[in-house]
Structure 1
Amino acid sequence: MSEKSPSRLCAVTLDDSSIGHAGPEIDHERATAIWDLIEDNSFHPCGDPGAGPYKLHISLMDNRLVFDIKRESDEQVVQHHLSLTPFRKVVKDYFLICESYYAAIRTASPSQIEAIDMGRRGTHNEGSELLQERLKGKIDVDFDTARRLFTLICALHWKG
């Protein structure tokens, strides 16, 4: 087994006051995204002369998404504030498709479920690409890391 890169996350937390009360599906997605993110990610704050691994705390503050990044030793590295405005439409679309998907699981045919799931994955990819674009020049992340981070942004974005 190879040594993990220092350009990675070793811990991810979500601000409790930013998290909306979600159903079991969203709670499961959030927990899975955090676990997957810790297991396999590529994450490096641009211009950081030091090395990771890094701890990431994600929160919402004054209509902004906050990425608070520290070293494993808790030494502050950087804090980035991103406007939520560019994410609003894709997050709203993603949640609408997720609602349709979870409703379809109970009543729809396998082909209908598959079609909705393809739309859900496509919208999730769109959000992930947007996140990579918004992080450009701030934090280098690969696409899989951006996907998992987008899942967590969705978990924070809407409260209940």
Structure 2
Amino acid sequence: MRGILQGDSLSPLLFVLCLDPLSRRLNGTYPKVSIPLNDVSYSTNHLLFIDDLKLFAENEGTARKLLDETKEFFKTIGLEMNKEKSATNARSCLDDATLLDDHQGYKYLGITEAHQSKISSESLIRIKQELFKRVERLTKTNLSGKIFSEL
């Protein structure tokens, strides 16, 4: 058996913990991309969440270096990238991921994003609807009101 077991509640935590050294290396070595969100701007060159890794770069050269660093780290700890589940808009990374065209989107964390990592308005509507459904289900449970004060 290889990798992290899917469905195990510890899997997301183990993934992020195992990739923490890579995260620190990427943050300390490579330039970050500014990501505006409302009135605030965040800077990063990667995201780690559950069992996904997303790399950000301003140019193809940096994208290639980020990917090479990631592949080397994965090799060291016994992980492999899945090319079929990987996408890129950098031609320098074609050996490792599918190239997105200008109109093609891709799924990241179950959400379809446009070519430049923008979430489509349809996806935002679906997220909002799903959020409301889950909150409604939660309010119909017999949970104590104290749990909501802790959130």
> TM-score of the superposition, structure 2-length normalised?
0.28
- Structure index of larger Rg: 2
> TM-score of the superposition, structure 1-length normalised?
0.27
